[in-house]
């Protein structure tokens, strides 16, 4: 369900916008550590995208049971909602913008931007079937692997940025 992905993304943004600094302080987490961990997770997802993909024709709806009793992978949540839409960079941006909000209006503007962003992602995903119809299964597989490559580069950059931030703070 496409709406689930967008609700999860928006929920994560709202949670970290409102409570992110508190959560990080309670657990002693730094933005640098968050970037590095997010980059490593993203890299694992990217690698699976560039390999075979789903196992033996497994449906990616998250609703159909797999023969071993497990649910099929739900790509609308992972990797689309987390970490592609609501990834470390976006979460960090929301946290920084809300912590630097000088007035209630600035705070509301951040959450309005979250709504616009997740709604834009929703529209993009809803109309993606038009593109898939024209490119076919082979084209879809090629694009998945290309985006897996791009995602792996983004993941490595997250790790590099986190390490550089730690180095600069020393």
Q: Where are the domains of the chain?
A: 2-169
Least confident of 12-21, 43-52, 67-76, 139-148: 67-76
- In 7-45, which positions are buried (b, 16+ CB within 10 angstroms) versus exposed (e)? ebbbebbbebbeebeeebeeeeeebbbbbbbbbebbbeb
- Of all residues in the chain, the percent with pLDDT exceeding 70 is 82
Q: For residues 61 and 50, which has the higher predicted lDDT (pLDDT)?
A: 50
pLDDT in tens, 92-140: 778 878 877 889 999 899 999 999 988 888 887 888 888 788 888 888 8
DSSP letters, 71-86, are BPPBTIIIIIIIIIIS
**pLDDT of 56 higher than 70:** no
Confidence tier at 86 by pLDDT (50, 70, 90): confident
**pLDDT of 37 higher than 90:** no
Q: For residues 42 and 114, which has the higher predicted lDDT (pLDDT)?
A: 114
- In 74-111, which positions are buried (b, 16+ CB within 10 angstroms) versus exposed (e)? bbbebbbbbbbbbbbbbbbbbbebbeebeeeeebeebb
Q: What is the mean pLDDT of the chain?
A: 79
- Average the pLDDT over 75-81 and give the result: 70
Q: For residues 37 and 104, which has the higher predicted lDDT (pLDDT)?
A: 104
User: Quick one: pLDDT at residue 160?
Assistant: 92
- Average the pLDDT over 71-86 and give the result: 69
Q: For residue 71, what are the β-bridge partners? A: 65
């Amino acid at each position: 369900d496409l709406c689930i992905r967008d609700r999860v993304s928006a929920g994560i943004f709202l949670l970290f916008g409102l409570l992110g600094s508190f959560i990080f302080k309670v657990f002693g987490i730094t933005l640098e550590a968050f970037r590095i961990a997010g980059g490593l997770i993203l890299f694992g997802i990217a690698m699976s995208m560039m390999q075979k993909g789903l196992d033996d024709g497994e449906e990616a709806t998250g609703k159909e049971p797999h023969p071993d009793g497990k649910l099929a992978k739900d790509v609308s949540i992972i990797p689309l909602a987390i970490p592609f839409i609501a990834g470390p960079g976006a979460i960090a941006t929301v946290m920084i913008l809300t912590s630097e909000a000088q007035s209630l209006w600035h705070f509301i503007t951040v959450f309005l931007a979250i709504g616009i962003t997740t709604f834009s992602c929703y529209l993009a995903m809803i109309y993606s079937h038009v593109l898939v119809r024209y490119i076919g299964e082979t084209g879809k597989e090629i694009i998945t692997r290309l985006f897996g490559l791009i995602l792996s580069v983004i993941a490595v950059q997250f790790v590099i940025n986190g390490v550089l931030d730690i180095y600069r703070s020393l």
